[in-house]
């Protein structure tokens, strides 16, 4: 009986030893050093590695993480790194840090020069000492020189050569999220304004209060897998805010090809609560959630078939339905940022649009069709808005 018990112990030890040998000899998943280039990794179809760090390059729908878009090109990781969008380094925590002084930023091509001059004049009217950075999107030397001669106006050339050739297609607006990312990396906070924007009053403090209310809050909740904001019923706005409604929904003016990269809830984006807001007037602070949005916004701009899917066109045919019916058009940057904001914040503009509305600014919908000097301008009306006054058109800026 004693011998039998010893045999049982020996058999048990032998089994344990064999199991141990099998475990340690099994092949393990090991991550080894890789070249510092982007490459496709793993079976998920989404991973890219840049400088030995792996990133997810598929956009996931926040309310259902299993729904994901096509992987963006891994080669764009180097662009994201330069734009400060690959890591959370130097992000601003508004609960513990002071908001940086926002920079005023715009961009001009030659055909929007006169319109841009009047934006600067409009800014001078409210803030005479406000510095303005203007990105040159293709100005003629003479035109650029006029801008450079203005006080507190800094002109910078947009680095088209650093990006894929299709970024040069100005009417696809790929340059806009890239420009915003560059400025945000440098200044931490900014007001971006298309040349058509006109301020009617100083509403900045109203907007600032919607995000600086986070200061001192010590608890957070996760609204979605992408965003974390302070827990306060009156302090839930993201640090990427749009302001001006466009009077139509996301669905009618978004080419279906964009959904291949940025999936969404189609029924939700047809609701009036997800009304499109103008992408050309935005206030952004370099917080973690703003960087999450801007990462996908920039990747969409860099991906050929995301920002401008094949067959996309700007002119819309809304007919009698501006929310539920596809209007056979696409709004490029505006479609992308509205889609990203709606996906992340419950398809309700009350969660991600500032409270200033049309009362603080307007968009002048007119084109300068011919000009020889500031005093000789022909204006063609293209929408029903107040025609700019002669004094506005001729206002000199010093």
Q: Which residues contact 348 (CB under 8 A, 6 or more apart)?
A: 273, 274
Q: For residue 334, what are its two tokens?
A: 């505006």
DSSP run (H or E) holding 249: none
Q: How confident is the model at residue 355 (pLDDT cuts 50, 70, 90)?
A: confident
- The reported pLDDT for the residue numbered 5 is 67
Mean pLDDT of 339-367: 79
- Which range has highest mean pLDDT (211-220, 229-238, 329-338)? 329-338
Model confidence pLDDT, tens digit, residues 113-137? 999 999 999 999 999 999 999 999 9
* Residues paired with 283 in a beta bridge: 191, 241
Per DSSP, which regions of 245-346 are E strands?
Answer: 281-285
Kindly give the interhelix angle for 333-344 and 175-187, rounded to the nearest 10 degrees: 60
- Better-scored residue on pLDDT, 386 or 52: 52
Cβ neighbours around 377 below 10 Å, total? 17
pLDDT of residue 215: 80
CB environment 14-31: b (16+ within 10 A), e (fewer):
eeeeeeeeeeeeeeeeee
pLDDT at 19 (0 to 100)? 61
pLDDT digits (tens, 9 = 90+) for 253-296: 999 999 999 999 999 999 999 999 999 999 999 999 999 999 99
Does residue 61 surpass a pLDDT of 70? yes
Query: Are the C-beta atoms of residues 192 and 282 closer than 8 Å to each other?
Result: yes
Read off the pLDDT of each residue in 159-183 and give the average, rounded to a whole number.
98
pLDDT at 89: 85
Provide the mean pLDDT of the chain: 83
Q: What percent of the chain has pLDDT over 70?
A: 74
The answer, yes or no, to whether residue 43 has pLDDT greater than 70, is: no
Residue 265 and residue 63 in contact, taking contact as beta carbons nearer than 8 Å: yes
Which of the listed CATH numbers 3.40.50, 3.90.550, 3.60.60, 1.10.10 matches domain 103-361? 3.90.550
Residue 155 has pLDDT above 70, yes or no: yes
pLDDT band at 378 (very low <50, low <70, confident <90, very high): very low
pLDDT tens-digit series, residues 7-24: 666 677 666 666 655 544
Nearest to 280 by CA among 310, 244, 231: 244
What is the DSSP code (8-state) at residue 90? Answer: T
Residue 79, pLDDT > 60, answer yes
Residue 165 · residue 157 · CB < 8 Å: no
pLDDT higher for 338 or 42?
338
The pLDDT assigned to 229 comes to 44
Q: Name the pairing type of β-strands 103-108 and 132-136.
A: parallel
Residue 68 has pLDDT above 60, yes or no: yes
Tell me the pairing of strands 189-193 and 103-108. parallel
Listed by start position, the domains of the chain span 40-82, 103-361
Count how many residues are written for the chain.
398
Q: DSSP of 3-52, one letter per residue? A: HHHHHHHHHHHHHHHHHHHHHHHS---------SS--EESSSS-EEEETT
Backbone angles phi, psi at 371, to 5 degrees: -155, 140
Which of the four pLDDT bands, split at 50, 70 and 90, describes residue 88?
confident
Residue 151 reports pLDDT greater than 90: yes
**What CA–CA distance (Å, rounded) separates 388 from 273?**
32
Q: Is 159 exposed, middle or buried (0-12, 13-18, 19+ CB in 10 A)?
A: middle
Tokens encoding 154 = 């800094």
Are the C-beta atoms of residues 294 and 80 closer than 8 Å to each other?
no
pLDDT reported for residue 6: 67
d(CA 95, CA 223): 17
* H or E segment and range at residue 376: strand 376-381
Strands (E), 159-239: 189-193, 197-199, 220-222, 228-230
Average pLDDT over residues 370-375: 34
- Spatial distance between the Cα atoms of 334 and 173, rounded to a whole number of angstroms: 9
């Amino acid at each position: 009986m004693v011998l039998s018990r010893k045999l049982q112990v020996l058999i048990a030890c032998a089994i344990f030893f064999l199991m141990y040998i099998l475990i340690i000899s099994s092949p393990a998943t090991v991550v080894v050093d890789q070249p510092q280039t982007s490459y496709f990794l793993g079976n998920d179809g989404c991973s890219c590695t840049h400088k030995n760090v792996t990133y997810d390059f598929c956009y996931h729908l926040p309310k259902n993480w299993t729904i994901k878009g096509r992987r963006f090109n891994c080669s764009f990781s180097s662009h994201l790194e330069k734009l400060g969008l690959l890591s959370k380094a130097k992000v601003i925590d508004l609960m513990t840090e002071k908001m940086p002084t926002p920079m005023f930023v715009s961009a001009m091509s030659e055909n929007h020069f006169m319109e841009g001059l009047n934006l600067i004049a409009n800014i001078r009217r409210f803030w005479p000492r406000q510095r303005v950075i203007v990105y040159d999107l293709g100005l003629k030397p003479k035109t650029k020189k006029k801008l450079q001669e203005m006080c507190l106006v800094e002109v910078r050339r947009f680095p088209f050569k650093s990006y894929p050739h299709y970024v040069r297609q100005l009417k696809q607006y790929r340059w806009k999220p890239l420009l915003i990312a560059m400025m945000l990396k440098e200044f931490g906070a900014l007001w971006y304004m298309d040349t058509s924007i006109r301020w009617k009053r100083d509403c900045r403090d109203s907007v600032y209060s919607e995000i600086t209310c986070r200061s001192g809050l010590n608890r957070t909740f996760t609204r979605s897998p992408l965003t974390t904001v302070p827990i306060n019923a009156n302090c839930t706005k993201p640090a990427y805010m749009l302001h001006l409604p466009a009077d139509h929904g996301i669905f009618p003016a978004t080419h279906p090809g964009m959904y291949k990269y940025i999936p969404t809830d189609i029924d939700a984006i047809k609701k009036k609560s997800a009304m499109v807001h103008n992408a050309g007037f935005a206030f952004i602070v370099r917080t973690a959630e703003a960087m999450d949005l801007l990462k996908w916004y920039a990747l969409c701009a860099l991906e050929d078939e995301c920002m401008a899917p094949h067959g996309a066109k700007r002119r819309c045919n809304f007919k009698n339905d501006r929310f539920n019916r596809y209007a056979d058009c696409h709004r490029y940057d505006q479609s992308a940022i509205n889609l990203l904001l709606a996906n992340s914040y419950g398809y309700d503009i009350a969660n991600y649009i500032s409270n200033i509305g049309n009362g603080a600014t307007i968009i002048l919908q007119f084109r300068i069709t011919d000009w020889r000097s500031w005093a000789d301008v022909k204006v063609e009306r293209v929408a029903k808005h107040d025609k700019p006054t002669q004094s506005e058109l001729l206002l000199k800026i010093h």
